[in-house]
Every structure is written in structure tokens, then in C-alpha cells.
């Protein structure tokens, strides 16, 4: 039977499988190239600069990166799990609003929240000014912890990354069978014991998935740690690349960073493999929300309000105030050009990525095989890899090709091609495709999964030719998925900072780059318009996401 | 009238693996046929070849007098005029029930299309779900809509691929009878694929029992049961046991119950044979053998007993539900059969029957 159905898939579409298959394998190889290049540098003999790094800063990089990871892990768990739990099992004022609003901090890139709080808390900022006015103290009378520190970075990153844990934990809590929990109660466990001994262990694989997403982002962060002056792998790669001008040593740092990421992936993979054993089967009844009263009602309300307040409302409010104060001077043609650049880049990148995702997704559906699955997985790996690492991995081979091409042209035609690949938008688009293919692919594949092979056959037997099937069945069913793929990549590209900083063509600016540069120059208010634009655009996929989250809850309720 | 389906020595293969090996079959107009067999026997592949989803290696498929598949041509599925109901129904999730049914009616004008949709909704007795979407329907409703969708373009032949396998077991027979009634009312010729004989019996006029890519027997349910063409069919259809039989010097076949009516010609060299005994071939009363109840299976209206004969051979015996006996009890039984199906020992095909 297995063989028969397998063979059936193969013959379904018949004619030119080899061309498509070769295309998929080739694109996968191309998309994996940056990662392979960086990995390759693990085996390149180390140079002087590397030795210098090892002697001086490598221990700091490792130390700071690990502290950051541990700190953010604690932060996102503490913020994400309790909020997920109370919005699942309790009824309290604003519960329905919090359900999706708690995702909002995800819209703010970490580097933006970092310098917003720096501006809020600096000596001349509103908080300290207010404090002095209220107490009559002078600057020497009090001591606030410096936000520009490792601890500060942990807080900033936790505030915008906890939604990953919140989202995954909540989905898991919602999916748990009430009977399991009731069985625990009947066996004599109190609500707290049930939570720690049944609910939380059942949700653990999901929580680990959310956690590892948050930690990947932490390792990938460049803007925050650079702004706060913390030496980590990402800042180290920049410094080695631009400061010490040693691409090999930068690539070796990148390879180390990538190894850390792979450790995370392994952890996630391991816990996910156990996920299916944890899933409760088939029919279950939905959790009934318990109404809270009195002091408990308001403490739970506060518990949910705080992450939303500090992770979204305060920073975006501050950005808005800044933006309004300088709107007149900033909203000029140069700003419009900046917006134009960003939109153009995001549009091109998302179309390219979507096209690739469709090509790979259909390839795997039409000609399923182990090799195809492996190729598609390989090409989707970029999402876990920090933008800095991808930038290094893209730049090295492209620059090599450019140099060769240039040398060859000079020799044969006495022409210079310049930096045909590495100096143009091409390299940036390619890097975005590597980094964000997984996002588009996930949407495309979930859309494709809704079109079963039998639907193709049914449409054919009802008189539609293949193109008609594509137009009347595939496109309408997949439209939503394709649109959200486009949108998600678009927004991700708009927010992306480190790869854009390294790979952009000379004098080509985007919103993210401009916001970051102005903030680095301590011109916080000036950067606010660009930052606010990024946040506003970033809210769109969060709303999509929140709709998906509440829908999944709704579907559970229906099937209950 | 022309035959709605005539397949002639059809071969289908996946790569180097032959799956269907020389199958021939002919349906009469309005007849409902069935391909019955264990999984992997090639029945679904044959169905997909008729629908045009698999090319033929050899042979031909003729629908309504038109050659739609042969070694050289494979007419595209959409140009065959053959409808199909899928195992998972494959309703289009983005279309309403009415639009699903109307999907194959694009050649009709708007009013004619609506009229045909309404007609089919009445036929499958679901006029109230017209504007629903597939996910709002129950499994049984989805199945009837899938049937309506396939019937809408008035196909010369309807194919059904395991149409009841996703249903609850209790529902299957009822649904099979409902579908049969609908097909008979529409006078549609159909070919059904299933591995479940009660489905096949409830729905089909004639059944092809398949094994290893070949048809073992193409017959009515009654004949498959009482007159199986070979040991595979005998074992696959219904329940039964093999009773040893010996030929004596006069050419008379002797069983534990005494001589059989069947005579064996002198040319037969075989002396040892086996007789197929169905549970209903064994009846209570003498003259006969005293047997002991070994095991019982209560089935409500009837009880199936396993009895041990004096020789130690065990046979099945079915009786009305009021006839309650316990393991260890004894009763006298004899044989009462219309047809004696005999197989030489270790041979696939029967040697004699009456």
C-alpha cells in the first residue's frame, strides 16, 4: 500500500519531473550556501586576527551572549507563562482584549524599544525630570540603575520577545483536555499542584518551542547590544569585519554563533519530538473559564497589564510624542525617499521569497521524496540564523565571484564590472530570501495542505483541465496563505537591521537603518518617525497572528 | 444499449511493478459493480485508471462505446464523462455546497445550473444545506454532497473509491443502501471499490473479487458465497471451514457425515479433497453426528457456534438467538447444502461441484 500510494504521487503529474526536481535541489543549495560558507570557516586555519580575538575578547563575547540568553530565558518565561495561563482559565476585566493585545510587543524591534527607554530614562528624560520635580532632589541625591547595561538589555529583549512563549503556551493550554485536569483533581491534587504537575509538564514542549524562538532572536540581536555597548558575537562580527577588516575571522566568529543557534535548534527539536506523546487525543471538553472576584480579579488584571504597558504602550507612546514634536521638520522629501526605498526593497524581497517558496512547496508536493524534503528543509534553515551571520556568509562568496568576474573582464575586454553582485540590491535581496524563506514557505505549505490531491482529481473528473484546476481550486483556497506569506516577509524585511546594515549598497538607506543611525547619534527624537513607521507596520502581522490564535481557540471550542 | 463500461485485458504498472494484470470486466446499463479485495490488490489503481489518472500498459477501457484509454491514448480525466466520489470526499472547502455541486456544470446556463443543483439536493435529501460550506456538514452529509457533485454532470459512469471507509461502522450499511437507491433512481451505472464485503453486498449488483492484480471471480453476491471460483474467494467471502473428504473405491466421496451427492469421475486421480462448509450448511437434527459446543458468539438475532465433531474437526453453526447453549453442551447436527464446493487438497480451484 505504501509503495502504491508513493508511486501514485509520482505518476500524478507525469512529464518533466527531472527539471523541476533539479531546480528545487539547485535553489536549496544556493539558499544554503551562506550557511555552508560560514560553516566551512570552522575548518580554515585561524589567522593572526583570530588569535588576537581569542586572547582578548572572545571570552567576553561568549560570557555576555550566555548571560543575555539566560537572562532573557528567565524573563520571557516569567512574563509569558503566567499571562498565558490566566487568560486561558480565568475570566476577568479585559480578558478578551489582553488575549491578543499581549502579542503587541512583538511589533517593536528590540533596538527601537532599547533606545526609546534610554531616552525615557536619561538625565534630561521625562522620568528623571519628574522625579526631581516631585522630590526636589538634585542629580547627586539619587541613583537609578543604568538602562544601558547587560541587565537593561535583558529587560528590553524580554519585554518584546515574551509573546513567543505566551503564544505557544496559550495554544498548548487551550488544547489540553479538561478531563486530564479533572482527573488530577479527583485524585486529590489542588489547583496549584495540578498546574505544576499536569498542566505545565503537558505544555513544556510548546513552551520550549516558544522559548527557543525568543532565544534565537536574542542571539541574533545586533541593534540593542550595540547601542548599549555590550560586546557579544553579533557586535564582534561587525567589529572584526569593518574594524579589523578580516573577513575570515568574522566568519569564524559567525560560525561559533551559528553553533550556539544549532544547539538551540537541537533542544527545540528534541522537545518537539516528544510533543506527539504529550498531545491529548481526539475528543475533549474545553476548559471553562473561572470568573474571578475582588482583589484577585484586579491582581490578575495588573499581571496582564504590566507587560503590555512596558512592552508596547509606553515605548510607542513615547515614540508618538517625539514624532509629533518633530513631525514638521522630518516629514520631508528625504523621508519619503526613505519610505520609498524601504517599501521597494520589502516588496521586491517578499515577491522573490514568495516565488521561491511556491516553487519549492509545489516541488515537494508534486515529486515527494526524501531528497526533496531534505532540500526544502535545508533552504528554510536561514530563519534560525542571525542576520549578521547570513550577511557574512553571503558577502564572502559574492565578493569572490565579483573579483573573479572583474579580473576576467579586465584581462579579456579591458573593462571593469565593479561590484556587480555584492555592491547592488541583488545581494540584499538574496540575503533576505535566505533569511525569510521559511516564513513564506510555512504559509505556502499550510495553504497547500488544504488542497488535498483528491481535490485536484475531483476537479479534473468534473471537467476542469489542469490550468482550470489551478485557477478555480488552488488559487482561491491558497489566496489567504499566499497573502499572509507576502505580508509576513514584507514586514520582516522592513524591520531587518543587521544584514541590511552590512549589505546595503553605498548610500542606500532604509527606515530601519536610518532609525538606527539617528538613534546611535543620540538624535532619538529625530529617529522616532522612522521607528514609529516600522512599529505601525509591524502591528499588522501581529493582528493577523492574534486572529489565528483566537481562531484556534474557537475551533477547539467547536469540536468540544 | 451500449455498455457503460467495458475493460479489456487491462494492465497497469508503477514503474517496474505490475499492479493490475490483465483485468477484463463489463457492466450492463444501470448496473452497479464492485471491485472487492484486500488492500494492495490493485482495485483502487484499476479505478484510477478508468478515471484517467493512471495510464494503461496494455488493454483498453471503453466507456459508453468510446475508447478512453488504450496503450496509445489516455484521454484526459476532464474529457471522459466519468464521475468520481473520493474516499475523503475532496469537497472544495472554499465553495458552498451549491457551488460544489455546480462545479462540473459550467457548460449549463445559470438557470439550468441552479435547477440541476436543486434537483440533486432533493435527490440526496439535503435541500436545507444549499448555502452551507463543507466544514459545516457532518461526515454523512459531506458524502451525499460529494455524490451529488459527481452525479451533477450526468456522467455515463460513476466511480466510487472506498466511499464509506471514513464513516462509523454502524452507519456504513445504511449509507450504502441509501447510495444504491440514489444511483438506481438516477439510473447511473457505477463501479465501487471497497475492502468491506458487507458494503459490497449492500450496494452492488455484481462483485469482482480481486487478488494480486487479477479478478478471481465476477459474480453476484449469492454465487460468490455459495459457489466460489477458488479457495481465495471461498476464504475471502463469508465464513467457513474445510471438511476433509476421501474418495472410496467406488468413486463415492465420503465425509465424516457420510457420502456426498457429488460423484468424481474415474479420471480424477485425487483421493483426498476438502469440502467448503458455511455456517448455514450445518443444521440441527439427525441423522448426523454428535458435536460439542466449543465457543459461542452472541449476535443478537442469531448465535454463531463453533462445534467440535467426533473426529476433532471444528465447524461453524449458526442458529436463531433463542437457541442458547453453553460451551460443553452436546447436540446432533447434519449437513444440508444446495451446492457442494469441493477442492482437491492443496489446489486453488475446485474440482467438482453439483
Specify whether A311 is located in the same domain as A417.
no
Specify whether A117 is located in the same domain as A219.
yes
* Model pTM score: 0.77
pLDDT at position B220 is 93
Q: Name, in order, each residue with C-beta under 8 angstroms of A501's C-beta and a sequence gap of 6 or more.
A: A222, A238, A513, A516
Backbone angles phi, psi at B339, to 5 degrees: -125, 130
Q: Name, in order, each residue with C-beta under 8 angstroms of B251's C-beta and a sequence gap of 6 or more.
A: B263, B264, B265, B266
For residue B207, the domain's CATH number is 3.40.50.300
3-state DSSP helix/strand/coil % of chain B, to nearest 5: 25, 35, 40
| B45, B80, B86: residue with CB nearest A457 | B86
Q: Say whether B90 and A3 touch across the interface (CB within 8 A).
A: no
pLDDT digits (tens, 9 = 90+) for B89-140: 889 988 899 999 999 998 888 999 999 999 999 999 999 999 999 989 988 8
A200-220 and A247-273 helices, crossing angle to 10°: 170
CA distance B211 to chain A (A): 13
Q: Does B138 touch chain A (CB under 8 A)?
A: no
Chain B hits for A454, Cβ within 8 Å: 86-90
pLDDT tens for chain A, 560 residues long, are: 333 333 333 344 444 567 888 888 899 989 999 988 888 888 877 777 778 787 778 888 889 999 999 999 999 999 999 999 998 888 899 888 898 899 999 889 998 999 899 888 877 777 877 888 787 777 777 777 777 889 999 999 999 999 999 988 888 888 776 666 677 677 767 777 778 877 888 888 888 888 988 998 899 899 899 889 899 989 988 888 888 778 888 888 888 888 888 888 888 878 776 655 544 444 445 566 788 888 888 999 999 999 999 999 999 999 999 888 887 776 777 888 888 889 999 999 999 999 999 999 888 888 888 888 888 888 888 888 888 889 988 988 888 888 888 888 888 887 776 777 777 888 999 999 999 998 898 888 888 888 888 898 999 999 988 888 888 999 888 888 888 888 888 988 988 998 998 888 888 889 999 888 888 888 888 888 889 989 988 888 888 777 766 554 443 333 32
Specify whether B182 is located in the same domain as B269.
no
Strands B241-247 and B272-277: antiparallel
Please say which residue of B213, B236, B259 terminates a domain: B236
SS3 assignment, position B68:
strand
Q: Does B39 touch chain A (CB under 8 A)?
A: yes
Specify whether B222 is located in the same domain as B246.
no
Distance between alpha carbon B225 and the CA centroid of its chain, in Å? Answer: 11
Chain B hits for A464, Cβ within 8 Å: 78, 103
Domain that residue B118 falls in: 5-236
Q: Residues A516, A517, A520, A522: what is their CA dihedral angle, to the nearest 10 degrees?
A: -110
Specify whether B231 is located in the same domain as B277.
no
Specify whether A159 is located in the same domain as A208.
yes
Q: Which residues pair with B342 in a beta bridge?
A: B275, B352
For residue A252, the domain's CATH number is 1.10.3720.10
pLDDT at position A556 is 37
Please say which residue of A472, A493, A508 terminates a domain: A508
Return the biggest CA–CA distance within chain B: 80
**Is residue A118 in some structural domain?**
yes
Number of domains chain B contains: 2
Specify whether A386 is located in the same domain as A502.
yes
**Average pLDDT estimate for B300-304:** 87
A524-559 and A110-121 helices, crossing angle to 10°: 130
CA distance A477 to chain B (A): 6
Specify whether A15 is located in the same domain as A69.
no
pLDDT digits (tens, 9 = 90+) for A90-122: 889 988 889 889 999 988 999 899 989 988 887
For residue B311, the domain's CATH number is 2.40.50.140
Grid cell listed for A239: 567589529
Please name which of A520, A481, A526, A479 lies closest in space to residue A497, comparing C-alpha atoms. Answer: A520
Q: Say whether A8 and B150 touch across the interface (CB within 8 A).
A: no
**Is residue B166 in some structural domain?**
yes
pLDDT at position A166 is 92
| B14, B88, B159: residue with CB nearest A11 | B14
How far from A396 is each of A315, A390, A501, CA to CA, in Å? 38, 10, 16
Specify whether A277 is located in the same domain as A396.
no
Q: Does B104 touch chain A (CB under 8 A)?
A: yes
Chain A hits for B86, Cβ within 8 Å: 454, 457-458
pLDDT digits (tens, 9 = 90+) for B237-294: 988 888 888 887 777 888 888 888 776 665 556 678 888 888 988 988 878 888 999 9
Q: Chain A: residue nearest B161 by CA?
A: A454
Q: What is the side-by-side order of every strand in the sheet holding B17-27?
A: B17-27, B5-14, B58-63, B66-69
Domain that residue A236 falls in: 44-282+290-320
Burial B56-68 (b: 16+ CB within 10 A, else e): beebbbbbbeeeb
Q: Which residue has the cell 540575503?
A: A431
Amino acid at each position: 500500500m505504501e509503495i502504491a500510494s508513493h508511486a501514485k504521487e509520482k505518476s500524478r503529474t507525469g512529464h518533466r519531473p527531472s527539471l523541476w526536481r533539479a531546480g528545487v535541489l539547485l535553489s536549496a543549495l544556493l539558499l544554503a550556501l551562506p550557511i555552508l560558507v560560514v560553516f566551512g570557516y570552522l575548518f580554515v586555519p585561524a589567522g593572526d586576527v583570530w588569535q588576537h580575538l581569542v586572547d582578548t575578547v572572545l571570552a567576553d563575547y561568549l560570557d555576555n551572549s550566555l548571560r543575555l540568553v539566560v537572562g532573557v530565558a528567565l524573563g520571557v518565561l516569567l512574563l509569558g507563562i503566567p499571562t498565558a495561563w490566566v487568560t486561558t482559565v480565568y475570566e476577568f476585566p479585559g480578558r478578551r482584549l489582553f488575549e491578543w493585545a499581549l502579542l503587541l510587543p512583538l511589533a517593536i524591534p528590540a533596538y527601537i524599544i532599547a533606545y526609546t527607554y534610554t531616552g525615557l530614562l536619561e538625565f534630561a528624560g521625562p522620568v528623571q525630570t519628574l522625579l526631581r520635580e516631585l522630590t526636589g532632589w538634585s542629580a547627586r541625591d539619587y541613583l537609578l540603575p543604568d538602562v544601558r547595561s547587560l541587565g537593561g538589555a535583558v529587560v528590553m529583549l524580554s519585554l518584546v520577545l515574551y509573546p513567543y512563549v505566551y503564544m505557544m503556551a496559550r495554544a498548548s493550554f487551550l488544547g489540553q483536555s479538561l478531563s486530564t485536569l479533572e482527573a488530577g483533581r479527583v485524585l486529590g491534587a489542588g489547583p496549584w499542584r495540578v498546574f505544576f504537575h499536569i498542566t505545565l509538564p503537558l505544555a513544556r514542549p510548546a513552551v520550549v518551542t516558544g522559548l527557543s524562538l525568543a532565544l534565537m532572536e536574542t542571539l541574533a540581536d545586533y541593534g540593542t547590544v550595540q547601542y548599549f555597548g555590550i560586546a557579544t558575537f553579533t557586535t564582534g562580527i561587525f567589529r572584526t569585519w569593518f574594524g579589523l577588516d578580516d573577513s575570515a575571522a568574522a566568519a569564524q566568529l559567525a560560525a561559533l554563533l551559528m553553533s550556539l543557534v544549532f544547539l538551540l535548534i537541537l533542544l527545540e527539536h528534541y522537545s518537539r519530538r516528544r510533543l506527539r506523546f504529550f498531545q491529548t487525543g481526539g475528543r475533549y471538553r474545553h476548559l471553562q473559564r473561572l470568573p474571578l472576584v475582588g482583589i484577585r480579579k484586579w491582581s490578575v488584571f495588573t499581571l496582564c497589564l504590566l507587560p503590555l504597558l512596558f512592552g508596547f504602550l509606553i515605548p510607542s507612546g513615547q515614540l508618538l510624542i517625539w514624532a509629533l514634536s518633530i513631525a514638521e521638520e522630518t516629514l520631508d522629501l528625504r523621508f519619503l525617499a526613505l519610505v520609498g526605498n524601504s517599501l521597494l526593497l520589502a516588496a521586491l524581497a517578499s515577491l522573490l521569497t514568495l516565488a521561491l517558496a511556491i516553487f519549492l512547496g509545489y516541488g515537494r508536493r508534486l515529486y515527494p521524496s526524501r531528497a526533496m524534503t531534505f532540500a526544502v528543509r535545508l533552504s528554510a534553515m536561514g530563519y534560525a540564523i542571525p542576520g549578521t551571520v547570513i550577511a557574512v556568509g553571503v558577502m564572502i562568496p559574492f565578493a569572490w565571484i565579483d573579483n573573479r568576474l572583474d579580473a576576467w573582464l579586465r584581462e579579456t575586454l579591458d573593462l571593469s564590472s565593479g561590484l556587480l553582485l555584492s555592491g547592488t540590491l541583488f545581494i540584499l535581496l538574496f540575503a533576505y530570501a535566505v533569511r525569510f524563506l521559511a516564513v513564506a514557505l510555512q504559509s505556502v505549505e499550510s495553504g497547500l495542505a488544504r488542497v488535498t490531491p483528491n481535490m485536484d482529481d475531483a476537479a479534473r473528473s468534473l471537467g476542469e483541465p489542469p490550468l482550470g484546476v489551478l485557477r478555480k481550486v488552488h488559487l482561491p483556497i491558497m489566496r489567504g496563505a499566499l497573502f499572509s506569506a507576502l505580508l509576513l516577509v514584507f514586514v520582516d524585511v522592513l524591520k531587518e537591521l543587521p544584514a541590511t546594515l552590512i549589505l546595503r549598497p553605498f548610500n542606500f538607506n532604509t527606515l530601519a537603518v536610518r532609525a538606527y543611525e539617528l538613534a546611535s547619534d543620540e538624535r532619538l527624537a529625530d529617529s522616532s518617525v522612522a521607528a514609529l513607521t516600522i512599529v505601525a507596520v509591524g502591528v499588522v502581522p501581529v493582528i493577523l497572528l492574534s486572529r489565528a490564535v483566537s481562531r484556534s481557540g474557537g475551533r477547539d471550542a467547536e469540536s468540544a | 444499449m451500449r455498455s457503460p463500461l467495458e475493460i479489456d485485458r487491462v494492465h497497469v504498472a508503477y514503474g517496474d511493478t505490475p499492479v493490475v494484470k490483465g483485468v477484463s470486466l463489463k457492466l450492463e446499463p444501470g448496473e452497479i459493480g464492485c471491485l472487492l479485495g484486500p488492500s494492495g490488490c490493485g482495485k483502487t489503481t484499476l479505478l484510477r485508471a478508468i478515471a484517467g489518472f493512471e495510464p494503461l500498459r496494455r488493454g483498453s477501457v471503453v466507456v459508453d462505446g468510446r475508447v478512453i484509454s488504450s496503450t496509445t491514448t489516455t484521454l484526459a480525466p476532464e474529457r471522459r464523462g466519468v464521475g468520481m466520489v473520493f474516499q475523503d470526499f475532496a469537497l472544495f472547502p472554499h465553495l458552498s455546497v451549491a457551488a460544489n455541486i455546480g462545479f462540473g456544470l459550467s457548460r449549463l446556463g445559470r438557470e439550468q445550473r441552479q435547477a440541476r443543483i436543486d434537483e440533486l439536493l432533493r435527490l440526496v435529501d439535503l435541500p436545507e444545506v444549499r448555502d452551507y460550506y463543507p466544514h459545516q456538514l457532518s461526515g454523512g452529509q459531506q458524502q451525499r454532497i460529494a455524490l451529488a457533485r459527481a452525479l451533477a454532470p450526468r456522467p455515463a459512469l460513476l466511480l466510487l473509491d472506498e466511499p464509506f471507509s471514513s464513516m462509523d461502522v454502524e452507519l456504513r450499511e445504511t449509507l450504502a443502501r441509501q447510495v444504491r437507491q440514489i444511483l438506481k433512481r438516477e439510473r447511473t451505472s457505477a463501479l465501487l471499490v471497497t475492502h468491506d464485503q458487507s458494503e459490497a453486498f449492500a450496494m452492488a449488483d455484481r462483485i469482482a473479487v480481486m487478488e494480486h492484480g487479477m479478478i478471481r471471480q465476477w459474480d453476484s453476491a449469492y454465487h460468490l458465497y455459495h459457489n466460489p471460483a477458488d479457495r481465495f474467494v471461498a476464504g475471502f467471502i463469508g465464513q467457513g471451514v474445510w471438511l476433509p473428504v476421501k474418495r472410496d473405491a467406488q468413486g463415492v466421496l465420503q465425509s465424516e457425515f457420510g457420502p456426498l451427492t457429488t460423484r468424481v469421475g474415474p479420471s480424477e486421480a485425487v483421493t483426498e479433497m476438502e469440502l467448503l462448509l458455511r455456517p448455514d450448511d450445518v443444521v440441527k437434527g439427525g441423522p448426523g453426528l454428535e458435536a460439542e459446543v466449543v465457543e459461542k458468539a452472541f449476535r443478537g438475532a442469531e448465535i454463531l457456534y463453533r462445534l467440535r465433531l467426533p473426529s476433532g474437526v471444528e465447524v461453524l453453526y449458526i442458529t436463531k438467538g433463542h437457541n442458547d447453549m453453553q460451551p460443553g453442551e452436546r447436540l446432533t447436527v447434519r449437513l444440508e447444502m444446495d451446492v457442494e464446493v469441493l477442492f482437491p487438497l492443496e489446489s486453488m480451484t475446485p474440482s467438482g461441484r453439483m
